[in-house]
Chain A
Amino acid sequence: MTSTKVAEQPAAPSDGGSGRPSPLKRLLRPNPLILLALPIVLLYLPRFVDNTTLLQQIAVATIFVMFAASWDILSGYTGQVNFGHAAFIGTGAYTVALLSKYQPDVSNELALLAAVGAAALLGLLIGIPCLRLKGPYLALATLSVAGALVQLTFIFKTQTGGEDGIAGVKTVIDGSLTNTIGEGLSKLVLGPLTFSGLGGFDQYIYVSYFVTLVFMVVMVGGLMLLGYGKRGLVLRSIQQDELAAEAAGVPLTRYKLGAFVLSAACAGLAGGLYAQVRGTVALDLLAVDLSLLIIIIAAFGGAGSIIGPAIGAYVVVLLQNYYLDRATDLFVEHPELKIGTFALLLIIVLIVQPRGIVPPLLQRLSGRGSATRAAGATMVEGGGAKP
């Protein structure tokens, strides 16, 4: 592991000397069709699929895409593997729920902003002491912060409801912005008469579906632009060799802390939105299991590429919440086998294809080897260099 991995950097100045291609171009280069088609397919999916249970689970999966992508911008890029991402998600979700419970006058949009703020603040608070920590130390520190938050909800049981959580959170339908987006897109996709023939519950599902989709596209798109641009390169350089990056003039503290706060803020937004989609919050949003599932998703899809974890989230969450139950009764009777199955899959992927499944797949599809290295996950490969 002594060879440097600089060769894998996407910095190849092979564009005819015309300088660095714009982030947008670099982003779309791996496979423009796939990246642009995904949101459009998802947008028009409800027109062809009227199975509302499935649509609801896709909406949940879309939220998990945001969880995984926000994890990736910190952990996949800088190699600071966060084992307690649920702390940020839960902070966002509980902020929204507590506001809805105690300050019902606060609008949903403002509550989401508060969720972002609270999570970002937590990211800053955790990020500062964690700047010096790496690998196993960081893993344990982040894991224990999430554990401590779980204990906090028990200590403030009257406010947070302890194990029962908080029910009756104002949903996406109650928010003017989210409802407008949801209804607007529903009419666009399903036709003008959309909600006249539907019950209230169906309306809620369609609104959730489109709102999560819009948030996801904006967040993942933004993160990808960032990740595939110059800043992403800098973040990646921190992973590959921190000392070299610093020697090359990278302001380490600012970038590491920035990634921490950005990751936390995005997770807080997604968590807050999840609370508004479910209408309840509970301990599962802070639990170790959620943090682990996110790591499984990201490593499975291919950490350090944003799109990998995003697609990984759709695969894993839909399998977990929908398809496995319908495949065999075994999973209905023994839900614990699902996470075990994913764990086993992950182990195999880590050994056979450490870059995850999505980046190599995109590379193959686009048929352009070296150019798509930008999408290559380097977390697992690069994180291993021993001093």
Chain B
Amino acid sequence: MNAEVNQALHQAAPLLELQQVTKIYGKGDAEMHALAGIDLSIYPGEFVAVMGPSGSGKSTCMNILGCLDTPTSGTYLFQGVDVGALNRNQRALLRRHYLGFVFQGFNLLNRTSALENVELPLIYRGSPTQQRRTMAREALRKVGLSDRANHTPGELSGGQQQRVAIARAIVTGPSLLLADEPTGNLDSARSIEIMDLLTAFNRDQGITVVMVTHEPEMAAYARRIVHFKDGLIEADHVSENALTC
């Protein structure tokens, strides 16, 4: 049934594709297989939740998907491009133009206003100052923080910080948004706000979202859930929630 649904959902070519990807840390006896050969295809517009216990390889997988790391063997194709064959700078450019990141720890620049934080990826893209300002303000508006533009992270609550981080991730209009336990440091009310935002960006702007989470309630927002265990994909199924909505 899954295959059918997938086929029905995705007529297009996959946005990203992992083929027999392994990642091995260390050497000899200390060798550790973080990923033991996984296959995974994610199509444009999907909202995928990645679950699994610590050490199951999901973080390693996210690093590879985020082009921060490269597989030891196997192939990672992002929009048909073999990421493993790219050098460090090429991967940086790929992140700059196609990816957005949201982290558990927010990872905003300290002592830097929300607006300047959101501007950061635009600076690296070389957008002109005026356009940069406008786009950053627009992104802040979308996450409901127009009135906090000049506050620094220290002056914002955790939920607000995470919303700034989401604004920073989507300000460039990425193809893929990678969220690593975005609600891990938040209470449930804040978590729901964050999930609503991610769902909205996924639905309204067609941004593909891949999200790591430990919480089934959060995973329920996704339309597809991938379970990792011992470096392998244990299960890959459509969320019940998604079918009903």
B and A form one assembly? no
Residues of B bordering A, CB below 8 Å: none
